[in-house]
Structure 1
Amino acid sequence: MKIYLMLTDTNTVFSKAIKLYTKATYNHASIALEPSLLKPYSFGRKYAHNPFWGGFVEEDLSRHYFSRAQCAIYTCEVSEEQYKNLVELLSFYHQTKDIYRYNLIGLVTLALNIDFDRNDSYFCSQFVASVLDESGIHTFEKEPHFVTPEDLSQLSIFEQLYSGSLMDYLLMVSEEQTKPQLLLS
């Protein structure tokens, strides 16, 4: 079974501010269960025009800031048990999403290298690292609140599938899924 890591640069004001500090190509991380990225899960903005009101989200890739996003897509082979654990974790977060908040303070403490963890708040890469760890897919050498999207891109468990325009990737996957399969006789 496979899972997918999506790293993006949405080119929003908030993303540009983070990029000024990190100098990283991608500053947002999401995890998905299918190559079409039908439901990428993350911690991010709940409302398109307000980057400060966030929490657990099933990202809507039709939002305007994703239409111009650049991305890197990675995949990872996982066991059936790890996949089941991840699905259960994502379901738990979805069912309890109203108790979680976006960890804006955590971004500041990460930048200042201050060990500060909040139980009910995550930023995107902290969330992805947490679910990878809790599902038994990958154990990190540092606490999830110190994991960045750049760190996730460097994990040896992931293989890069694509880099470029997010919309081009989604179009490519959509076209591949609609191609007729050749039957061998």
Structure 2
Amino acid sequence: MEMMYNFTGDAPFSGVVEYGSKQFMFRKGYMETYSVACGIGQIPTISTSSSIYGQFGTGSLTVPVDNYPSQINIPSYSSMELNLDTFNTNRVLNFDVSVATPRLPLYALGDDEPTGVIAGTPVEVNANFQIEVDDYEIKNMRLIPDETVFKNTSIVLKKNNSDIELMRYSFDNMLLTSESFSASNSSNASVNFNLRTFILR
């Protein structure tokens, strides 16, 4: 699992940003948004935004150094998998997942830093996918509402030509909010859709 995703909950983090010969350090960072995007032939990207409630500025800070793999994994066909209840496919063309966590700082009288920061509710999760049409059935969003809720949703990114998992995201009770179909005489038919859920704490 990608490390930054673990900070969408209650835990704060500290770190150092290196810019040229300078270092900017911060303490008590709380993540507010997290997003990951991945597509065939593209380097996966992760974006985050955070609020800092502790120290921030130039300086040094001793933090553990993560040993990231030196080899970049560029997704190819079959390295991304999507599971929606009983339906599963590895014909995923691209996906992106975003998590938005509201933050509520708690201050004591006379303090310039909060005594605590809690994760608010609800946490909003959005997932967008594009898949090649195989045995996926377009959902009847208007007439059969029960068909638009997926109780178990998981997205898996694997190392190319391997069963080694690099990332896995799992969510419960995601609602299908939009769905579109596209096809042409020069490419395979595909479906784009958005899923959304709200996590109550």
- Give TM-score, length-normalised by structure 2: 0.24
Q: Which has the larger radius of gyration?
A: 2
- Give TM-score, length-normalised by structure 1: 0.26
| Greater RCO (Cα-Cα under 8 Å, separation 6 or more) | 1
Higher normalized helix content (fraction of residues): 1
